[in-house]
Structure 1
Amino acid sequence: MSIRSAIETKLVEAFAPERLDVLNESHHHAGHQPGMTEDGETHMRVRIVSAKFSGLTRLSRHRAITDLLKSEFDAGLHALAIDAAAPGEPTRW
């Protein structure tokens, strides 16, 4: 299973999102460190809207996601941009 697919599966199971996009942005970072190529899965962006984020701070939302995805970081994920919102909160995406 790809890192992108694993991230998506875990987020769906843990947060039952109303909206979810998992974007591979690795091609923007090719060559930035040895071993980082255009076709890798080193840099991802998560855009998620979930009722489970209601009442949580931005930091708490980020920690919940990064804690969930520890094995993906161990498997080679280098960077994760997170846009997390609760239903009804404005998003820029």
Structure 2
Amino acid sequence: MLGTEHMAARMQAVLQQRLQATALEVLDESAAHLGHAGSNGTGHGTHFRVRIASPLFTGRSRVAQHRLVYDALHDFFDPYNKQGAAAGTNGEPRDSVHALAIEIL
């Protein structure tokens, strides 16, 4: 899986490439979720907010717009939660996104 370091920058690059974003901001809000389900205890790399505008959203419902974002970021998620809520199999920090808030601009 992906490491937590610089995950927001990697997510931003993927969204820019796949969705041709005309406005884009990826914020790591993990520090506000320490102790919550999905937190890896480091304060980074698990909870993100994406603010995005893309010509690919034109004419699509909000659900379809969000689906495009989730599909583009698929590799950043652990959909089967194989690593558990807080840590990997050997106690190392979890290295996948747990929560994503999307704002379509």
Task: State the TM-score, normalizing by the size of structure 2.
Answer: 0.72
1:77 pairs with 2:89: no
How many pairs align?
Answer: 85
How far does the alpha carbon of each residue in 1:51-92 deviate from its partner, in whole angstroms, 9 at most, with x for none?
Answer: 11110110001111111111101241000000113xxxxxxx
Partner of 2:59: 55
> RMSD of aligned C-alpha atoms?
1.7
Residue 18 of structure 1 deviates from its aligned partner by 1.6
Identity %, equivalent residues: 35
Task: State the TM-score, normalizing by the size of structure 1.
Answer: 0.80
Q: Runs in 1 of length 4+ with deviation above 4 angstroms?
A: none
Stretches of structure 2 that go unaligned for 5 or more consecutive residues are 79-94
Compare the two structures and name the one with the higher helix fraction. Answer: 1
Partner of 1:13: 17
Tell me which amino acid in the other structure corresponds to 1:3. Answer: M
Contact 2:39 2:46 in 1 (8 A): no
Tell me which amino acid in the other structure corresponds to 2:19. Answer: F
CA–CA separation in structure 2 for the residues paired with 1:19 and 1:34? 28
Q: In the alignment, which of 30, 33, 49 is matched to residue 29 of structure 1? A: 33
Tell me which amino acid in the other structure corresponds to 1:22. Answer: V
